[in-house]
């Protein structure tokens, strides 16, 4: 009897363990499917739009991260309005997703994304709105590892609007280059200098400055590691 019972318990444990492994594996497969890489390059505009809309359907049903992105959260935010606690200016890079990086939900952070996290009229206008109308106390400028905009800022043969954008980063690259070091060290310093440059432009803005001087707004800088997922704050 004892042996039989013991055997049953062991069998049950085995079944549970196998079920868990199968469950974890199926979840991993699902996650892998949702990550887009250069290997999967067969999208056209129709299939891309379909993928976005399929994702939106999942989001509407809030099958993950329920309570921070679900129907109740949407309803509450519509009724009560938004009160985000931070402005995050970062790059458009698809691997840098502030809402995910800081584990935030709807209404939490006011995000502005532009290649190379540079500041132009529209960006500063959005920040003015965040600070002046929404009373957001913190502005984080977040650069990141392996930033294509920073890397390409050394190139002088890119013209047009992209060229103008890269020109905003070029002085940071030149400043980093003057300090010497390996190419990867130069890029890393240039990324930080570029963040500092954006921070300076934001801090000098008339509207933002008023709040900084009043002691109610801070502008800080950071760098996101694609490899570790860690945000390092600049000094």
Of 103, 111, 142, 105, give the one whose Cα is nearest residue 129.
Answer: 111
88 binds Zn ion (CB under 5 A): no
Cβ proximity to Zn ion: between 69 and 202 the closer is 202
Q: How far is the CB of 235 from Zn ion (least distance, A)?
A: 21
109 binds Zn ion (CB under 5 A): no
Alpha helices per DSSP H over 81-182: 98-101, 121-132, 148-152, 160-178
Task: Provide the 10 A C-beta neighbour count for residue 48.
Answer: 11
Cβ proximity to Zn ion: between 131 and 188 the closer is 188
Using CB under 5 A, which of 87, 89, 91, 169 touches Zn ion? 91
Residue 182 is encoded by which pair of tokens? Answer: 């390996």
Task: Show the site string, 126-165: x = touches Zn ion by CB under 5 A, - = not.
Answer: ---------------------x-x----------------
Cβ proximity to Zn ion: between 69 and 117 the closer is 117
Q: How far is the CB of 144 from Zn ion (least distance, A)?
A: 6
Residue 81 main-chain phi, psi, to 5 deg:
85, 170
93 binds Zn ion (CB under 5 A): yes
Site for Zn ion in 25-64 (CB under 5 A): none
- Assess contact for 221 and 212: CB atoms under 8 A: no
87 binds Zn ion (CB under 5 A): no
Residue 6 is encoded by which pair of tokens? Answer: 């013991």
192 binds Zn ion (CB under 5 A): no
Residue 190 main-chain phi, psi, to 5 deg:
-60, -40
């Amino acid at each position: 009897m004892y042996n039989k019972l013991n055997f049953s318990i062991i069998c049950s444990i085995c079944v549970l363990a196998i079920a868990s492994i199968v469950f974890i594996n199926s979840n991993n497969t699902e996650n892998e499917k949702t990550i887009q890489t250069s290997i999967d390059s067969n999208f056209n505009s129709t299939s891309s739009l379909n993928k976005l809309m399929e994702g939106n359907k999942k989001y509407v049903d809030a099958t993950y991260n329920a309570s921070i992105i679900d129907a109740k959260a949407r309803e509450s935010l519509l009724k009560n309005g938004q009160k985000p606690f931070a402005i995050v200016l970062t790059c458009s890079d698809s691997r840098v997703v502030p809402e995910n990086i800081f584990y935030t939900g709807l209404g939490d952070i006011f995000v502005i994304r532009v290649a190379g996290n540079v500041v132009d009229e529209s960006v500063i206008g959005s920040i003015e709105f965040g600070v002046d109308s929404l009373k957001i106390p913190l502005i984080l400028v977040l650069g990141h590892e392996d930033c294509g905009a920073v890397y390409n800022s050394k190139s002088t043969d890119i013209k047009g609007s992209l060229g103008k954008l890269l020109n905003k980063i070029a002085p940071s690259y030149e400043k980093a280059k003057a300090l010497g070091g390996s190419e990867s060290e130069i890029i890393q310093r240039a990324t930080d200098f570029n963040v500092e440059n954006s921070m300076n432009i934001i801090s000098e803005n008339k509207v933002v400055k008023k709040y900084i001087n009043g002691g109610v707004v801070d502008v800080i800088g950071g760098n996101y590691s694609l490899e570790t997922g860690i945000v390092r704050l600049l000094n």
